[in-house]
Amino acid sequence: MSLTDSIPNNVDLGSDRKLLRALEKWQPDFLRWWRDMGPEGFQEDQIWLRTAISVDAGGWANYDYVKMPDYRWGIFLTPRAGERKIGFGDNAKYDAWEEVPGELRGMLRRIIVTQADTEPASVEQQRLLGKCAPSLYDLRNLFQVNVEEGRHLWAMVHLLHQYFGRDGREEAEALLARRSGDQDKPRILSTFNETTDEWLSFFCFTMFTDRDGKYQLSSLSESGFDPLARATQFMLTEEAFHLFVGETGLDRIIRRAAEATVKDPNGDARNQGAIDLPTIQKWINFWVSSAVELFGGEISSNAADYFATGLKGRHHEQKKYSDHSGLEGIYTMPIVKDGRVTMEEVPLRNAMNEVLRDEYIDDCERACERWNKTIASTGLDFRLRIPNRRFNRGMGIYADFRFDPEGNLVSDAEFEKSRTQWLPTEEDRAYVKSLMVPCYEPGQFAPWIAPPAKGVKGKGVDFEYVKFASAADAAE
Ligand code: BYC
């Protein structure tokens, strides 16, 4: 099969010989990386997956059984809707760029590489999870997320190859050479080096880390560099499913936790084989505090430059804002001065990371409210919380101080004293891992997670979402 056949695309790949050659060279390296670092042990199995084969509303999501290495990783840009102008910053009202402006080349490359790096990183982080999936439904969802992260890598590599010449090709190779968690060649952003070897972390990752992806992609979809805007617009359509997996996955674990607490004579969910709510809270604290780092510094000249040049806007820049210069505005943020938290005014452009973090945190709070309704529906009086953004930070203006999950300044000693109440302990991790026993019977679910309300795309919850190549795989 030629590359133009094996890569569904709407970028006219067949007529661009240079681009085709570059991608033909990269594809075998990608497949090698996928075999080495993609889901371990399931490459020969038939997975019921959706594949994007066009950008049309009706055509983009095509469902069928596919072996993962045969997945058709396509390249799609949302079609142009007429002439487009740059929507914000100092270049607003000029025509959007179809080529990379020379003076912005370095900055744009850095943004695209940073975005691209997260995609293979997450696949690497999740590569062992299939071996302990709580159901075939969840196993299939994991693999759906994985192949789509692979497609998002293709989307960014296409931009690197098409617009950045030799530099772009080198960056594309480097994306396959870095490894999540590797001391010598780690992935670029912190969270993407965290271990994700059990499913509570997987659902936290897809809930909280992928949600950073949503807001970053949304900001990039406003970009004055039109190919980036159009590539990220289409990525967002797939990203929605990843967020669904995270939010509903946590909801199902929380439901089981609450039910088990109510049922147990001592109110001990662990005694019923579930994960208790205080443990879930610790995971939320850990993953939220890790994910909020991904928005960059609170006061950032990089962010100001990205906005000023028109490369990266705000979430819903066109829909939500009337002033697109960002020059007049002031952002008031809490900072630590003389041992106290006080408010300080920052020029809006320098606070763009914080503006995006606000949107993100509101979205997390919304989901948390839903989980609390799930808990309340069991009759249990317990509330989960999204920790304050200052809690447990390793980067930015709060990194040198300690805060409790409510955001109050505390001493190092106070923090250390409460650490085991706020963050996962080794014992908690060992307990959660002890529950990770695979459950591969169609329609069966591990005891620590409730079944979903419905299956995928009209299929039942008991549908055979994964057909194992051999009985040995299923028993593994
Ligand atoms: N870890 O000015 P600063 C996704 C670096 S997730 C390590 O404070 P800036 C997905 C920063 O790169 C979305 N390093 O921040 C989710 C800079 O280094 P350089 C991914 C960090 O630049 C799940 C220096 O520190 N997309 O799609 O304003 C599964 C000073 O930075 C971190 C993007 O991130 C960190 N946490 O903002 C799959 C969009 N934070 O460049 C996929 C593109 C900062 O001086 N990236 N640094 O060497 C960006 O827009 C910006 O790079 C950031 C940082 C928002 C990440």
pLDDT of 291 reads 98
Amino acid letter, residue 371 = W
Other beta carbons within 10 Å of 116: 23
Task: Please report which confidence band the pLDDT of residue 474 belongs to, taking 50, 70 and 90 as the band edges.
Answer: low
Q: What is the pLDDT of residue 115?
A: 98
Phi first, then psi: what are they for 196, rounded to 5°? Answer: -130, 75
d(CA 67, CA 41): 12
What pLDDT band is residue 52 in, cutting at 50, 70 and 90?
Answer: confident
For residue 475, what pLDDT band results from cuts at 50, 70 and 90?
low
For residue range 253-274, list pLDDT tens digits in order.
999 999 999 999 999 999 999 9
Which pLDDT tens digit goes with each residue over 57-90?
766 788 999 999 999 898 989 988 888 999 999 9
**DSSP state, residue 387:** P
Exposure class string for 51-79: b at 16+ Cβ within 10 A, else e: bbbebeeeebeeeeebebeebbbbbbbbe
What was the pLDDT predicted at 171?
98
What pLDDT, in 10s, does the model give residues 420-461? 999 999 999 999 999 999 999 999 999 999 999 999 999 999
* Mean pLDDT across the chain: 95
CA of 110 to the centre of ligand 1 (A): 9
For residues 79 and 290, which has the higher predicted lDDT (pLDDT)? 290
168-192 residue pLDDT tens: 999 999 999 999 999 999 999 999 9
H or E segment to which residue 344 belongs: strand 340-347
Q: At what angle do helices 226-263 and 352-377 cross, to 10 degrees?
A: 30
Nearest Cα residue to atom 6 of ligand 1: 213
Nearest residue (by CA) to ligand 1, atom 49, is: 111
Pairwise CA distance, residues 448 & 205, whole Å: 18
pLDDT tens-digit profile of 146-173?
999 999 999 999 999 999 999 999 999 9
Give the pLDDT confidence of 15-41 residue by residue, as tens digits.
898 999 999 999 999 999 999 999 999
**Contacts for 304 with CB less than 8 Å, ≥ 6 apart:** 347, 349, 350, 352
pLDDT of residue 459: 96
| d(CA 6, ligand 1 centre) in Å | 32
* Section 49-60 average pLDDT: 80
Tokens of 322: 């009337």
Which ligand 1 atom lies nearest to the CA of residue 215? Answer: 13
Measured in Å, residue 423 CA sits from the centre of ligand 1 at: 24
Contacts of residue 330, defined as CB under 8 A and 6 or more positions apart, other chains included, come to 345, 346, 347, 348
Cα distance between the two ends of the chain = 33
pLDDT higher than 90, residue 470: no
Residue ranges around ligand 1 (CB below 6 Å): 110-111, 114-115, 118-119, 122, 149, 189-190, 209-210, 212-213, 216, 293-297, 300, 302-303, 312, 353, 395
Specify the pLDDT at position 188. Answer: 98
Residue 376's pLDDT is 98
Other beta carbons less than 10 A from residue 185's beta carbon: 10
Which pLDDT value is given to residue 54? 81
Please identify, by atom number, the ligand 1 atom nearest to the C-alpha of residue 301: 2
Cα-Cα-Cα-Cα torsion 142, 145, 146, 152, nearest 10 degrees, comes to 180
Nearest to 121 by CA among 144, 146, 90: 146
Give 208 or 11, the one with higher predicted confidence: 208
Residue 46, token pair as written in the block: 């038939």
**Ligand 1 atom 29 nearest Cα:** 210
Q: How confident is the model at residue 406 (pLDDT cuts 50, 70, 90)?
A: very high
Q: Do 291 and 208 form a contact (C-beta atoms < 8 A)?
A: yes
pLDDT at 317 over 80: yes
Paired tokens of 467: 């057909």
- pTM (predicted TM-score): 0.96
**pLDDT band, very low/low/confident/very high, at 322 (cuts 50, 70, 90):** very high
* Confidence grade of residue 53 (pLDDT, cut at 50, 70, 90): confident
Q: Residue 472: pLDDT above 80?
A: no
pLDDT tens, residue by residue, 194-208? 999 999 999 999 999
Q: Report how far apart, in Å, the C-alpha atoms of 198 and of each of 130, 152, 435 are.
A: 10, 24, 9
| pLDDT at site 1 | 57
Q: Ligand 1 mean position to 118 CA, how many Å?
A: 10
Q: Is the pLDDT score of 473 beyond 70? A: no
In the prediction, which pLDDT does 60 show? Answer: 74
pLDDT at 428: 98
- Does an H or E element contain 341, and which? strand 340-347
